[in-house]
Structure formats: structure tokens, C-alpha cells
Structure 1
């Protein structure tokens, strides 16, 4: 629990190629990008595996330019008071467009048809005749008037649901944890499924947009397949582990599942019939990469400059207007009397508290206190040391 130099230029390290538009968020007079730094203030990352990394005592934040954080040791970061950010919604449009593209393309057997057509190389003038004779094997279905079930109505799911309505589909949505913001953005014409079983039973197509948790792992399995319509198409652009692959293979063989479209191919998937394996292209657009990089950079910049937290996966969101006065930012265990001890330490230096906030998440909490006095470096060092002596404190920072 060291006392950082609060006035120094802050160092940002990148572990993957981060879009230049994101790095440009960092003011050159206040931040430096140094990918050789062994002890940066913050790390920007995309897919680099950080689980074996050792972190310096100066590291305050890790920002994932994307949604998933499986490549980051989140629990370890929490214990060390390192905020882990992600960028929910920044790649939503990219994923939505691909979901709708695959929804239509797979329903029309487009990929099988294109692959077959390419086998006609060398047939010369007979190609048009062969195409006309062979096209009947690829007759598909229109999505108009069919029912799409959307599991998870977050940033991506809500966009998919709304646009599917514009394609004249009927849409059923299921999300027991839907946020107020998402509810405002969701069309009132999206039908609400009271249970996931209701969605399974009534959908011609099902697309899933939920995180991988103990509750969602293997949610597509023999039992849930038995509820679904014969020939249902399932689109998975969330996580491969949401699907029990053994049960999926059996469902594809029997025709219970007509098509399985997934952004997470592996050896097993490639061997299954009626699969459309996508090489993890969900968020792979230039626009998405730039949006994620910009959003991640702004979150890191705001946190390092003001202590405010938005879109952290391991600490609570917390924000109060920053006036430019000194701010005490403390990560600590979520136990009784922590706020009282922190404010007592501040008061012991005859400092006036102008504003404060305390938020908790699980076993940890975050407290920010604005001080209405001018304070010198000796007081800063003494105050940080005094707060750090409190049992249960993780890190203390003066901004």
C-alpha cells in the first residue's frame, strides 16, 4: 500500500494493438504511452492473456477494449485494488449486424449454396445450366413472420430485437435482469417471455446475449432442446460454453436443431452437421475496435484523473463532480465502520469534508472524499499512511 506520486505524468501500457483514436484520448502533457514500462499506472488490453503477469505496485487500472474479461485475473486485481474496466455496448452495433446477417444467410442456406457453386469450377459454359438444376437443394425460408427469441436484452440483445421487428419478425425477449436504461430503448412491440421455457417453446430462431456464469453454462442442452420447435435455428455470439456440445451434436443429427450458428468454433463444432462456424468476427469491425478503444481510454483517463469509476467489472460504479480540490480515494473491504474510520483520519488533520460517496460491491467497497482545504505533501503522506493503517484498507490514493 504505497503512497503514489500524485502529480507525476501517468504511464499507460498497451498489451495489444489499441486503435490510435483511443490512445489519442490521453493528453500528451498528462499521460505517456510506454509499452516497455514495468510498473505503469494503467494497462490497455484486448485479448492478451494476463493471468500469469505480475503487477507493479503502481498499477491502478486495467481496461479491456471489449466486453469479456476472461483474459484478466479479475479476482487478483480486486484483492490488490486494481480496477478492471470493460466497454459494454461499444461493439453492440457490430455484433447486431452480424447476428442479423447470419440469421438471414443461414435461413436461406447461403453458405452451403456458395460452397457448392464454387465446386463448379472447370464446367465452362455448362455452369449456368448446372446452377439452375442444382439450386433447388438450397431452397430456404424467409424470416418475415417468423418468431425470434432473444435471450438477454442488454446493449446487443436490445438492438437485435428492435431491428428484427423492422424486418417484420415477431420478437420474444427474456431477461429477468433488464436494466431501466435498456427498457427505455427496447421497443414496446417486443413480447416479454415470463420464463425462458416460454421463449424456447415459441421461437423459430433463438439468439443468446448473456454472460457466461454458473447459471448460464450449458443452458442449451438436451432438456432445453426438448422444449424447442423442430428445426429451430440457434445463434450464439456470446460464449461457446453456453452450449452443451454433446447434446447439440445429437440435436443437429436428429433435426431438432436445424442450424447452429456460432462465433466460437472448435474441433468438435467443425465436425458437426448443419453448423455455421464463424471465426470470432462478432466485434471485428474497424468501427467497433475504435469505439472500444475510445471508451476504454476515457474510462481510464477519468479514473486516474478524478477517481470516478464507470463500467468496472470488479468495483462499484461511483462518481461525484470533480472540483479540482484534493480527493481521497480508498478501496477497502466492505465491513462496518470503514467510512467512519476514514473520515476520522481525515478530520484528525483538521481537514473539512466537502463531498463524499461510498459504494459497495460484494466483499469490497470504494469511498471517495473531497477535501475543502489546501494541503501540502507532508499532510498527504501522513494522511495516506494513517488511512492505510486501518484494518481492511486495500489501497489509498490522493488525487
Structure 2
């Protein structure tokens, strides 16, 4: 069987496909070469993408022989699931493969906000010794608000509670007996505004949908504490970027850590990049060596199940 990989994939997953008799064509920039992709895709049995390749009806119509789509990650906003289902093409995300890495990113962001060691290092190297400036604060006793209580939220909560943090969560789809509430001890709140008002850190863990687009915006950002931070490692567009800039500049909140943006990469002259206390990273929250390897191997294995006539338990359509 022929497999086309249009974006970054770790070698071990591709080698696994080859060891099992599949041919793999790999171009990590192909997702950006729309016309070339449309020309190539008809001859492939499987298509593996990340978040840049737009898997829309046009591409699916061109993919006449494609039997399965693998998503090297968990977000599905770049894939038209309804169109894939109509064509009987299962879509397989890398369920939970990068959850630990994203959880650790959130912890790193909170620790950086509390103890900015990079800034202290730079200042000391200039010959300064300003202990008061870099006194910092503790995470212990602070409140973390989780927007979304799925697998990543669960892993963040466990780590935050190990630091002595109070953890509250907003998720209308979680019941009182779900493990994150019943076993991890996250305290649920029924309104997003309540969570924003009570949290020292707000971490976003929901998919980008019509309901979640710009759910954090100029109307509710002023409800937050002036020392609070927003952390978004989910999807760009959930936090309204200009409203966030305005809130930070007005000292309504202390800052933000954004790993995802509405337009990636960041545009030259972006207002976000002009605000020092809004820290940006290039969509790397789930991109540790371990997570990339797990993602590649999971998708390789699950895609092969479908190509061999079976079904994947990870398929969403």
C-alpha cells in the first residue's frame, strides 16, 4: 500500500510502515503545496497529515483511492469530518499520544511566570545582582482554572495538585463521576466567568469549534485578577488575540503564554509580538521527542490496521 505524508513525522513511524511492506512518500512541506498535493493524492491508499494540510471536500474528492486518514496530533479542525464520513474514509487522530507533553508545557509556563529564571540569568550576566527583582512567587496555594476537562486537563490537574495548587474546572460535558472530578479532585464550576474570576492561571484545553471560538474575549477578560495569566496550548482562535493584547496593556491581567495562534506562523508586526508579557512559542506544547515518537508509532500502527482490512479504535469517523 502507498502512504503519503504531507507534514512533519518522526522517522520511527515511517520505518514501521516500511517494515510492514508499505511504501512511504514524505514531504513535510507538501501540505502547503496545494496544487501539487491535489495532483499526487489520487494514487495513495493512506494520507497522513498534521494541522496545516486542509483536508476538505476538494482534497477528499481527489483522494479517490484513499482508505484512511491519519492525523499526527489530536486537533481535527483542519479536517472536514462530515465530508470524510460521507466518503467512508476513517480519520484517526493520535489519541492521548502527546497529552503528557502538553501538560508539562502548561506547568513550565506557570513556573516561568512565577520564577522567571531566564530573565534572572540574563540580568546576572549583565553584572547585576537584583535579588528583590527576581524574588518571584510560589505556585503552592495558587488557583489553576482549567477550561476543558479531558485527558490533557486531567494530566495538568494531577501535576498542579502535586505542587499544592487548587484546581477548578469548567466543562459542560463532564459529569460529577468522571475521573478528573471524582478521582483527581478538580472542583467544578458551572460558568466560565466564575472560573476566570477565581483563577490565578487559566489554561485552555478545548477544541476549536463555533461554540469555543473567541470564548475568552473583551467581555470576560476584565473579570480576571490583575496578576493572572492565560495559557493557551489548544488552538488559536479560542482566545481573542486583540482583546488579550488590550487586556494586558490595560493591566487587567498580567500576561499570557500562547503556543497557538489564529494565524501561524506569527505575522510580522503582530500586536501579540509587541507585548513582552505575552510569551509566544511555535506550536510546540505537544512536540517533545517522546510525544513525537509516540504519535508517529500510534498513527502508523492504527493506519495499518485499516489498510489490512481491520478497524481502529482511535477512529473518530
TM-score band, normalised by shorter chain: 0.7 to 0.9
Deviation string, structure 1 residues 60-110 (Cα, Å, up to 9, x no partner): 111011112344444443333222221121001111111101101112233
Aligned partner of 2:68 among 61, 73, 83 = 61
- Report the alpha carbon displacement of residue 304 of structure 1 after superposing the two structures with TM: 2.4
Tell me the equivalent position of 1:153.
Answer: 149
Q: Does 1:92 align with 2:99?
A: yes
Alignment partners' CA distance in 1, 2:45 and 2:244: 45
Give the 3 Å change call, closer, same or farther, for CA 179–192 of structure 1 in structure 2. Answer: closer
Pick 1 or 2: higher relative contact order, CA cutoff 8 A, min separation 6: 2
Task: Confirm or deny: 8 A CA contact 2:42 2:65 kept in the other structure.
Answer: no
Aligned partner of 2:6 among 11, 15, 23 = 15
Superposition TM-score, scaled by structure 1 size: 0.67
Aligned partner of 1:26 among 17, 20, 43 = 17
Task: Confirm or deny: 8 A CA contact 2:3 2:48 kept in the other structure.
Answer: yes
Deviation string, structure 1 residues 86-136 (Cα, Å, up to 9, x no partner): 112100111111110110111223344344445x2xxxxxx2xxx22x343
- Report the alpha carbon displacement of residue 146 of structure 1 after superposing the two structures with TM: 0.8
Task: Confirm or deny: 8 A CA contact 2:161 2:167 kept in the other structure.
Answer: yes
Aligned length: 294
Alignment partners' CA distance in 2, 1:245 and 1:48: 20
Give the 3 Å change call, closer, same or farther, for CA 156–48 of structure 1 in structure 2. Answer: same
Give the 3 Å change call, closer, same or farther, for CA 234–184 of structure 1 in structure 2. Answer: closer
Aligned partner of 2:286 among 279, 283, 287 = 283
Alignment partners' CA distance in 2, 1:21 and 1:275: 35
Give the 3 Å change call, closer, same or farther, for CA 186–277 of structure 1 in structure 2. Answer: farther
Tell me the equivalent position of 1:191.
Answer: 187
Q: Where do 1:266-277 residues align within 5 Å? A: 266=266, 267-277=270-280
What secondary structure is seen at the aligned counterpart in 1 of 2:133? helix
Alignment partners' CA distance in 1, 2:271 and 2:210: 22
Give the 3 Å change call, closer, same or farther, for CA 72–138 of structure 1 in structure 2. Answer: same
Tell me the equivalent position of 2:50.
Answer: 46
- Report the alpha carbon displacement of residue 247 of structure 1 after superposing the two structures with TM: 1.8
- Report the alpha carbon displacement of residue 299 of structure 1 after superposing the two structures with TM: 1.8
Task: Confirm or deny: 8 A CA contact 2:146 2:202 kept in the other structure.
Answer: yes
Superposition TM-score, scaled by structure 2 size: 0.83
Task: Confirm or deny: 8 A CA contact 1:252 1:273 kept in the other structure.
Answer: no
Tell me the equivalent position of 1:371.
Answer: none
Task: Confirm or deny: 8 A CA contact 1:88 1:155 kept in the other structure.
Answer: no
What secondary structure is seen at the aligned counterpart in 1 of 2:136? coil
Tell me the equivalent position of 2:173.
Answer: 177
Alignment partners' CA distance in 1, 2:52 and 2:242: 30
Tell me the equivalent position of 1:351.
Answer: none
Which one has a bigger Cα radius of gyration?
A: 1
Alignment partners' CA distance in 2, 1:137 and 1:184: 37
Tell me the equivalent position of 1:142.
Answer: 138
Q: Does 1:292 align with 2:300?
A: no
Gaps of 5+ in 1: 1-9, 121-126, 316-399
- Report the alpha carbon displacement of residue 32 of structure 1 after superposing the two structures with TM: 3.1
Deviation string, structure 1 residues 129-149 (Cα, Å, up to 9, x no partner): xx22x3433332111111111
Tell me the equivalent position of 1:383.
Answer: none
- Report the alpha carbon displacement of residue 234 of structure 1 after superposing the two structures with TM: 1.1
- Report the alpha carbon displacement of residue 261 of structure 1 after superposing the two structures with TM: 0.9
Tell me the equivalent position of 1:245.
Answer: 241
What secondary structure is seen at the aligned counterpart in 2 of 1:165? helix
